[in-house]
Structure 1
Amino acid sequence: MPIQKEHKEFHAVEMDGDGWHSPPGYPEEIEQKILAGSLDEINKTGNRTRLLRFRPGAYTTKPFVHDYWEEVYLISGDLIVGDANPAERISSFAPNTYACRPPGIYHGPFKSETGCLLLELHYYEQSAP
């Protein structure tokens, strides 16, 4: 049976207080806050919705790849995306931009000059019963 997200009605999301932490493998200037769900990367099940924020000047140093789907919406700030191949062009994105990545796609590294806030959805594809 697929893991379901919990039922949550509208509520205030604390943007400056508790619940923020750096995800494993990220620098401390990049923090996440899980809004709903749980992603089990060992058993390859579940889903989560999270906010990810970069402090001004925060960056990652290498591309990411994972085995789950990822949807990303840039809410505010700037996001600079390098290519997995350093010879490739670097792209800069402004608010109201979106990405949808299937499993196995290399993406990043990432940087933000002014800081940014992203809304991310991560999920494993469920096989039919």
Structure 2
Amino acid sequence: MPSEKEHKEFHSVAMDGEGWHSPPGYPPDIEQKILAGGFDADHMMGSRTRLLRFKPGAHTTVAFVHDYWEEVYLISGDLIVDGGDGQHPATFLSHTYACRPPGIYHGPFRSETGCLLLEFHYYASPVAPW
């Protein structure tokens, strides 16, 4: 069962090698690294913070929809939303942000040059402790 996010002070994050893997349902040229949290989609509990990276030319083929909140910050590179229903592709560059409530369709996605995203996933709206 997931718990609150653990306390972690500043520490180096290895950008190559250890801890990177393709999430279930993603192609092998898209990888994630979990930074913090416990996330249990089966029980709709918890939260996580992760890095998601697309290698150059990486793409998904279908739109995503999920039952949790998602916040995404594009740190570097390009992310292209291919859209659907006749929509034209939209290209986003570094320092762009999205916040999606549960049930919102998004994607498919691709990246020409590769990109790095910081993502937050959670089931309940975060409540500030102050």
Q: What runs of 5+ residues in structure 1 fail to find an aligned partner? A: none
**TM-score between both structures, scaled by the size of structure 2:** 0.93
- Is structure 2 residue 75 aligned with structure 1 residue 78? no
Please say if 1:96 is aligned against 2:109.
Answer: no
Gaps of at least 5 residues in structure 2 are: 126-130
Partner of 1:29: 29
Task: State the distance in 1 between where 2:38 and 2:109 align.
Answer: 24
The C-alpha deviation readout for 1:16-42, integer Å capped at 9, x for no partner, is 120000000000000000000021000
User: What is the count of residue pairs matched by the alignment?
Assistant: 124
Amino acid in the other structure paired with 1:108: G
Establish whether residue 19 from structure 1 lines up as the match of residue 16 from structure 2: no
After superposition, the C-alpha distances for 1:43-92 in whole angstroms (9 at most, x for unaligned) are: 0000000000000000000000000000000000000002132x111100
Q: TM-score, normalised by structure 1?
A: 0.93
Partner AA of 1:103 in structure 2: P
Give the equivalent residue in structure 2 for 1:118: 117
